[in-house]
Structure 1
Amino acid sequence: MTTKQIEVSILGQSYRLACSPETEAALLEAVARVDAEMTKIRSNSNVRGQDRIAVMAALSLASELLQLQSSVRHGESFPAEEIRRTMAQMNKQLDAVIEQYSAQ
C-alpha cells in the first residue's frame, strides 16, 4: 500500500499526516470535522488551551459516535448500504412506472 504525506490545519496549527491515496478523502473529512468541533468549543466556551479544547472535542465526537452506534443497534438508524439498496430498488420501481406510462 502506497502512503503519501498531506499537510492539514486544525485550529490554526499545521499537521503532517500519512495516508494512502484511497483514504485521503475520508481523512480530510475527519480533519474538517475535528477542526469544526474544536473551533466551536473554543468559540462557545471558556475552555482555553489547545490540549483542553482537543480533549473536549474528542469527548463530544465520541459521544456522538456512541449515540449513533446505540441507535443503529436499536434499529433507529439504517446502515448506509441498506439505504443504498432500498433507494436503488425504489428507483427501479419508479423507472418501471414511468416506462409504463410513457408507453401509453
Structure 2
Amino acid sequence: MSTKQIEVQIMGQSYRLACAPEAEAALREAVERVDAEMTKARDLSSVRGTDRVAVLAALSLASELLKLQKSVRHGEAFPVEEIRRTMSLMNSQLDAAIGQLETQASVQ
C-alpha cells in the first residue's frame, strides 16, 4: 500500500501528514474539523497556549463522540430518512434493470 504526504494547516500551523491516497479526503475533513474545534476553543475561552487549546478541543470532540456512541447504542443516531431515500432509489434502479432484462429476454 502506498502512502502520500499532504500538508495541512491547523490554527495557522503547518503539519505534514502521511496517508493512503484513498484516505486523503477523510483525513482532510478530519483536519478541517480539528481546526474548527481548536479555533472555537481558543475564541471562546481565555486559554491561549496551543497545547491547552488542543486539550479543550479534544475534550469537546470526545464528548461529542461519546454522545453519538450512546445514541447509536440506543438506536437513535441512524439517519432514517436518508436510509429510506437510498432504499427507494435502489429499488427504482433495480426495477429499471429488471425491466430492461425482461425487455431483452422478450426480444430474443
Q: TM-score, normalised by structure 1?
A: 0.80
Matches within 5 A, 1:1-104: 1-78=1-78, 85-91=83-89, 92=91
Q: Identify, as 1 or 2, the structure richer in helix.
A: 2
Per the TM alignment, residue 47 of structure 1 is displaced from its structure 2 partner at its CA by 1.1
Per the TM alignment, residue 44 of structure 1 is displaced from its structure 2 partner at its CA by 1.1
Identity %: 66
- In structure 1, what residue type is equivalent to 2:19? C
Q: Which ranges in structure 1 are unaligned for 5 or more consecutive residues? A: 97-104
What is the CA–CA distance in structure 2 between the aligned matches of 1:21 and 1:71, rounded to whole Å? 32
What is the CA–CA distance in structure 2 between the aligned matches of 1:85 and 1:55, rounded to whole Å? 35
What is the CA–CA distance in structure 2 between the aligned matches of 1:90 and 1:41, rounded to whole Å? 41
Per the TM alignment, residue 23 of structure 1 is displaced from its structure 2 partner at its CA by 0.3
User: Which structure has the greater CA radius of gyration?
Assistant: 2
Counterpart of 2:62 in 1: which secondary structure?
A: helix
Number of residues paired by the alignment? 92
CA RMSD of aligned residues (A): 2.0
